[in-house]
Structure 1
Amino acid sequence: MNFVSEFLSFMAWLMARPRRSLEVLGLWVYLFIKNNAAAVQDEDGSWYWPVWFEVDSSALRAFMDGISSKRLWELRQELIRYSRLEYQKASGGAPARYALIPSTQGCGRYAWVPQTIPAAVSSGSPPRNAVETRRDSTRNALGNKTGFLLIQI
C-alpha cells in the first residue's frame, strides 16, 4: 500500500459520506498506523504491509479516549459494512486481528507467512486464491531479519 495514496483515498471516501464521524476516522487512522508499523522490508528495500495485523483492544480504546466496547463494535461494523476493514475477534488471550482493505487501484493484497513457524499464517488461514510470489528473508521495522513467504491474495 502507498501510505499517502491510501490515506487520501480514505479521506475522499469519508468526505463523500453524508454522515461523517471523527470516531470512524480515529479508528481507521489508528489501524492504518498499526498496519504500517507491522510492515516488513525485503532485501531490495521495498516495504510490504501485512494483510492481517494484531491490535490490542484496550490500547485502541485508550487511544480513542476510553470509547466503550459497544461503540468500538459499532464503528468497526461500519467500516466492515462499507468494505473498508476485515476483523477477527480476539480469542484465547490473543489480540484481535484486522485487515485494511486497500481502496487505491493497483494495490495488491499480500500476506506474509513466517517460514520459521509453518502453522502461523499472517492472513489467518491461507486464502483459496493465494499465489506464491516469492520466498524472501526480510527485515521488519525493527530491523530484525526473518524468513517469509509472500503470497498474493
Structure 2
Amino acid sequence: MNYLTELLAFFRWMEQQRLSPLLQAFWHYLMYFNNRAAIKGADGFWYWPVEFRVPNKLFQDALGLKNRQPLWTQRQTLIRKQRVTYTPDAGNRAGQYRLIPFDKGLAPASIAAGERQEPTLVWTQTATESGHGAQPYINNINPKQASLFYHNQEEPPNTHSIHGFNLLPPLTESEKAAIQALYPGDSVAAFNAMWAAREAKQKGETT
C-alpha cells in the first residue's frame, strides 16, 4: 500500500462524500496506526499489515474525545461507507481494524515476518503496477530523488529551485484523457499510470 496514493485518493473520494472533520481525522489516524504497525518481511522489505489493533484510549486521546461513544459513531460511519472493517476482541485486548484500500490493485498475501511462527497477511501490489510496481513504500512516502535537470515549467524564468523537489513534466489534456480511457472507474490506476507517463516524459527530456 502506498501512503501518498491512498491519501490522494481519500481527498478525491471526499469530493463526493460529506465527512465531518472528526471523521476525517479518524481515518487519518487509522492510516497512521496501520503504517506504524509495518512488518518487515524475510525479504528485507517493509509491508503494511492487513489487520492491526489500536486501543480505544489511543484514539480518544488523539481525537480529544471524553468517552467511547463518539469513537463508536465514527467507526460505524466508516464501516457503512466500506472504508474499514472492525472486529471487537472478546477479552480486554484492543479491537482489530482492517482498512479497505482505495487502490484496487492491492490484495492480501501471506509472508514470513521475523520470528513470527505464523504467516502474516500484508497488502501487496497485483494489478495496478503501472506507477509503483510491488514496492510497499512504508516509511518513506515520497522516495523520489530531487532532479537537477528539471524545473517547474509553470514558474517564471530563472526562479526555479532544485532544493529537494522532483517536479515532473505535466501531461497535456489529451494525454490525460487517453490514460483515463484505459482505466474507466479506477482513479487510482489512472493516477499511477499518469505518474509513470510523467516519469517517462522526464527521462525523455533529460537523456
Q: What does residue 148 of structure 1 align with?
A: none
Checking the alignment, whether the CA contact within 8 Å between 2:86 and 2:95 is kept in structure 1 is yes
Q: TM-score, normalised by structure 1?
A: 0.69
Q: What does residue 91 of structure 1 align with?
A: 90
Matches of 1:111 and 1:80 in 2, distance apart? Answer: 24
Checking the alignment, whether the CA contact within 8 Å between 2:59 and 2:71 is kept in structure 1 is no
Checking the alignment, whether the CA contact within 8 Å between 2:25 and 2:63 is kept in structure 1 is yes
Checking the alignment, whether the CA contact within 8 Å between 2:84 and 2:98 is kept in structure 1 is yes
RMSD over aligned CA atoms reads 2.3
Larger gyration radius, structure 1 or structure 2: 2
Deviation at residue 67 of structure 1 after TM alignment:
4.8
Q: Mark the runs of 5 or more structure 2 residues left unpaired by the alignment.
A: 122-138, 140-207
Q: What does residue 80 of structure 1 align with?
A: 79
Checking the alignment, whether the CA contact within 8 Å between 2:41 and 2:112 is kept in structure 1 is no
**Structure richer in helix, relative to its length:** 2
Task: Tell me: CA distance 1:71–1:52, structure 2 relative to 1, closer, same or farther (3 Å).
Answer: same
Q: TM-score, normalised by structure 2?
A: 0.52
Q: Mark the runs of 5 or more structure 1 residues left unpaired by the alignment.
A: 124-140, 142-153
User: What amino acid is the match of 1:102?
Assistant: P
User: What amino acid is the match of 1:80?
Assistant: I
- 1:33 matched to 2:32? The reply is yes
Runs of at least 4 residues off by over 6 Å:
none
The higher-RCO structure (CA 8 Å, 6+ apart) is: 1
Deviation at residue 117 of structure 1 after TM alignment:
4.5
Matches of 2:81 and 2:34 in 1, distance apart? Answer: 19
Number of residue pairs matched by the alignment: 121
User: What amino acid is the match of 1:10?
Assistant: F
